[in-house]
C-alpha cells in the first residue's frame, strides 16, 4: 500500500501520463480509505481544469469575481459527498 506521500507523488504523475495498472489500483484503494488524499486529488483536478481553461484563468485574476456564500456551500457539500474516482 502506498503512503500518502507516495500517493500524492503518483497522483501528480498521473496528470502527465498513464500509470501502470497496479499503481492505479493501489491509488484507488488508498483514495477509498484516505479523505485527505481524496481532497488533494480533487484539488489537483481543479487546478488542472483551471490551467486548461483560459476563461477560468481570467476569472481567477479578477478580484471582483466571487461566488455567493450559497454557491460556496453547494460546492463544498458536493465535494464532500463525492466518491473517489474509479
* More confident position, 65 or 47: 47
Has residue 27 been placed in a domain?
yes
**∠ CA(22), CA(43), CA(18), 5° rounding?**
30
Task: Please state, in angstroms and rounded to a whole number, the distance separating the CA atoms of residues 29 and 6.
Answer: 13
* Residue showing cell 477560468: 56
Is 58 inside any structural domain?
A: yes
Q: Is residue 41 in some structural domain? A: yes
- Residue 86 belongs to a domain: no
Domain extent at residue 20? 4-81
- The residue-averaged pLDDT of 64-85 equals 73
5-63 pLDDT tens trace: 999 999 989 988 899 999 999 999 999 999 999 999 999 888 888 777 777 666 555 55
Tell me what pLDDT residue 37 has: 94
Number of domains observed in the structure of the chain = 1
Amino acid at each position: 500500500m502506498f503512503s500518502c506521500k507516495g500517493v500524492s507523488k503518483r497522483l501528480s504523475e498521473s496528470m502527465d501520463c498513464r500509470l501502470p495498472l497496479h499503481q492505479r489500483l493501489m491509488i484507488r484503494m488508498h483514495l477509498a480509505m484516505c479523505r485527505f488524499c481524496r481532497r488533494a486529488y480533487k484539488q489537483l483536478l481543479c487546478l488542472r481544469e483551471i490551467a486548461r481553461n483560459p476563461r477560468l484563468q481570467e476569472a481567477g485574476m479578477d478580484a471582483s469575481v466571487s461566488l455567493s456564500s450559497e454557491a460556496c456551500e453547494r460546492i463544498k457539500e458536493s465535494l464532500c459527498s463525492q466518491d473517489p474516482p474509479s
